[in-house]
Chains A and B, each alone.
Chain A
Amino acid sequence: MPQWNKSLHKWLSLLVGIQLLIWLVTGLYFNLMDHRKASGNSNLQSINHQGIIAPERLIPVTQLAVQNAKHIGLLWLFGKPYYQVTIERGAHSYQAHNIKLFDASTGAPFTLNESLARTIALKSYNGPVNIISADLLAPPMDELPKQKNPLWQVKLQDELHTHVYIEPTSGAVVAHINDERRVRDLMFKLHFMDYLGTGGFNHWLTITFALLTLALTITGLAWLSERYRAGQLSFTHQHKTQNVTVHVSNTQHTHVLALDKHSTLFDSLAQQGIMLPSNCGGGGTCGMCRIQTNQPVKVTQADQTRLSQSKLEQGFRLACQHNACDIQHITVRTLKRTNKNAS
């Protein structure tokens, strides 16, 4: 296993670590959230607009002052019929469209005014509530970043701070955006890394981070497979031991210790109270947990990187890279706070 793999893993984790945690925590939120509430639908109810009209009172569509209609629907609003004329529209209702309304009994152009918007907002809300304000907003809108058409925003005076968004070209309630929905939208923004407010997830920032995260997982798994091949990831936990003579140079004590064959020397010495210096905790990256032996022991990639050629020739190795079964006799230099007094 090349040393750069470990180094890359560390630096990648520094780059994407916080976002990776954000992905996990927001993912947990999506797993646990109440869907109806999180959509802002706690107080949403449907409105029945259907009415009745004597058929002969509808004026023919030929009399409408409109060019280039692609589609005409009969739309009911509070029991009155309107022609909804589509001149241009996209695949989704949030995309920019050109839709006009006409009174179906007079043919006059019709605009969904503030008082109708207020009425729709109140009727769409389950329970008594007061209105704070009503405004016709032009895109872009903070709470509906994808929306490309003007919408009525009616602010209600309730505990959840509900804003009702109404499409002027249909009278349809686009959304109730309340505090419950705002939490979900924030979670989506974090999960999609939509920090620039595009309303979507197809952007360079998240693509870059996804690539870096893929590299992070690949380097991590490569590291794990290296540990596995080194026998330090065995599932069968055999506690076979082997006696190793350990000479502690700074205290001039010598111990004969029964060390676990399939743990690293670094770990099994620590279990016996002999603490070697280390910064990385046994990852083979800091090069501090050196030991010396006069036996012929293989040189790992980490030994090679962290120890000079002359040190290697003198028998220095890293304790975190070798298992007890490789070596019977070592000299170590310990941390000052090591308290090993036994035998």
Chain B
Amino acid sequence: MITTKLRKAHKWLMTFIGIQFLVWSITGLYMVSMDIHFIHGEPLKQQPLNTLELDKVTYSLSDLLSEYPQAQNIQLGRLLDKQVYRIDESQSGKLILDASTGEPLGNIDENMAKRIAKHRYTGTHDIQSIQLLSKPEQVPSELSARHLPVWQVTFSNPFADTFYINQYSGELVTTRHHFWRLFDWMWRFHIMDYDDGENVANWLLLMIALLGSLAATLGLLLTYQRVFKTSQGAS
């Protein structure tokens, strides 16, 4: 009887991979039901409200280009209460220049990083810890090494809201909180890449998804049989 064979195959396949279906369901449910903008910490970040006061930009772009002819990626913006240029310079690397004097402001120190963090944080919690990450081996898995060097500022709320502030530019490069960290774990389990979650094209996922497709097809055939082919007159 074909139904019996289907049922046995479905049962045995699911005995081996049914747990992964549970994992896919739970992780998928978490990822679709949590608002992605919330996950990405957007509500934690105060958008800069202050507009530029252009009449106070007394060090002009002409001055800047005369002094730094190699400057690229020139941006005029704010650093707390100051108006500053951020530039990429072939010799000195990334620089912050005071937009009224042209004076280089140097790297962001711990005190400054704390002030920036508090300024941009929409929450009311205090800073619990702060540390400078500058070497690739210090980088936690939640941060991409391209953001180095950064100040890692962790707030004292239950979800360990964390701001990463670039040491050269003073810019808030990314944030993290426990819901995002959990989301990353959900993702790893969803794609069955348990170390860094960067490789969707892994063999384990391929094998389980192939077997899973087979098991689900058999299940669908069983359902079809039970729901639409009950012509033999069930009691």
> Which of B1, B18, B61 makes the CB contact (< 8 A) with A270?
B1
CA distance A57 to B25 in the complex (A): 61
Q: Known contacts A13-B220, A56-B62, A288-B232; is A72 also within 8 Å of B18 by CB?
A: no
- Say yes or no: B235 contacts A17, CB within 8 Å: no
B227 to chain A, nearest CB (A): 6
| Inter-chain contacts of B93 with A (CB < 8 A) | none
> A233 to B15, Cβ gap below 8 A?
yes
Contact indicator B213/A72 (Cβ below 8 Å): no
Number of residues of chain B lying within 8 A (CB) of chain A: 75
- Chain A 261-278 near chain B by CB (<8 Å), digits 1 or 0: 000001100100001011
Taken together as a complex, chains A and B put the C-alpha atoms of A181 and B1 apart, in Å, by 45
Q: B223: which of A10, A104, A221 is its contact (CB, 8 Å)?
A: A10
Q: Chain B's nearest CB lies how many Å from the CB of A71?
A: 5
CA distance A283 to B225 in the complex (A): 12
B61 touching A60, Cβ below 8 Å: yes
Q: Which positions 21-47 of chain B face chain A at CB distance < 8 Å?
A: 21-22, 24-26, 28-29, 31-37, 40, 42, 45
* Cβ of B133 to closest chain A Cβ, rounded Å: 23
Q: Would you call A213 an interface residue if the criterion is a C-beta within 8 Å of the partner chain's C-beta atoms?
A: yes
With A32-B201, A281-B222 already in contact, the answer to whether A217 and B74 are too (CB < 8 A) is no
- What is the CA–CA distance of A56 and B54 in the complex, to the nearest angstrom? 18
The answer on a CB contact under 8 Å between A210 and B209 is no
The interface-forming segment of A21-29, A166-174, A238-246, A326-334 is A21-29
B205 within 8 Å of A (CB atoms): yes
The answer to whether A206 touches B51 (Cβ under 8 A) is no
Q: Which of A253-297 contact B (CB under 8 A)?
A: 266-267, 270, 275, 277-283, 285-288
Contacts of A60 in B (CB 8 A): 57, 60-62
Q: Is the CB of A233 within 8 A of B18?
A: no
B19 cross-chain contacts in A, Cβ below 8 A: 221
Is A62 a contact partner of B55 (Cβ separation < 8 A)? Answer: yes
Answer whether residue A58 sits at the interface, using C-beta atoms and an 8 A cutoff. yes
Q: How far is the CA of A211 from the CA of B230 in the complex (A)?
A: 28
- Centre residue among A67, A279, A283 by max chain B CB count within 10 A: A279
Q: B8, B25, B34, B74: which contacts A74 (Cβ < 8 A)?
A: B74
What distance in Å separates the Cβ of A265 from its nearest Cβ neighbour in chain B? 13
CA A142 – CA B209 in complex, angstroms? Answer: 30
Asked whether A108 is an interface residue with its Cβ less than 8 Å from the other chain, the reply is no
Q: Is A69 in the interface zone, CB < 8 Å from B? A: yes
Number of A-B contacts (CB under 8 A): 199
Q: B11 on the interface (CB 8 Å rule)?
A: yes
Flag whether A116 is at the interface (Cβ < 8 A).
no
Residue of B nearest to A87 (CB): B51
Contact, CB under 8 Å: A280 / B235: no
Across the interface, A217 reaches (CB within 8 A) one of B18, B33, B210, B227, namely: B18
The CA-CA distance from A286 to B1 in the complex, in Å, is 15
A288 engages B35 (CB within 8 Å): no
Q: Is the CB of B25 within 8 A of A17?
A: no
Establish whether residues B226 and A280, one from each chain, have CB atoms under 8 Å apart when the complex forms: yes
Contact B234 A73 (CB under 8 A): no
With A and B bound together, what is the CA distance between A207 and B50 in angstroms?
Answer: 39
Beyond contacts A18-B220, A32-B201, A224-B14: 9 other A-B pairs, Cβ-Cβ < 8 A, are A21-B213, A61-B54, A61-B61, A62-B55, A64-B54, A74-B61, A201-B32, A210-B29, A214-B22
Can you pick out 30 interface pairs between chain A and chain B where the beta carbons lie within 8 Å of each other? A10-B227, A13-B220, A14-B223, A17-B216, A17-B220, A28-B206, A31-B205, A55-B63, A58-B60, A61-B61, A67-B51, A68-B51, A69-B51, A69-B54, A71-B75, A74-B75, A202-B32, A202-B36, A210-B32, A216-B25, A218-B22, A221-B22, A270-B1, A270-B4, A278-B4, A281-B222, A282-B4, A283-B7, A286-B226, A288-B235
Seen from chain B, the residues whose Cβ lies within 8 Å of a Cβ on chain A are: 1-8, 11, 14-15, 18-19, 21-22, 24-26, 28-29, 31-37, 40, 42, 45, 48, 50-52, 54-55, 57, 60-66, 69, 72-78, 200-202, 205-206, 209-210, 212-213, 216-217, 219-220, 222-223, 225-227, 229-230, 232, 234-235
Identify the A interface with B (CB < 8 A): 10, 13-14, 17-18, 20-21, 23-25, 27-28, 30-33, 50, 53, 55-58, 60-62, 64, 67-74, 91, 104, 192, 200-203, 206-207, 210-211, 213-214, 216-218, 220-221, 224, 227, 233, 266-267, 270, 275, 277-283, 285-288, 306
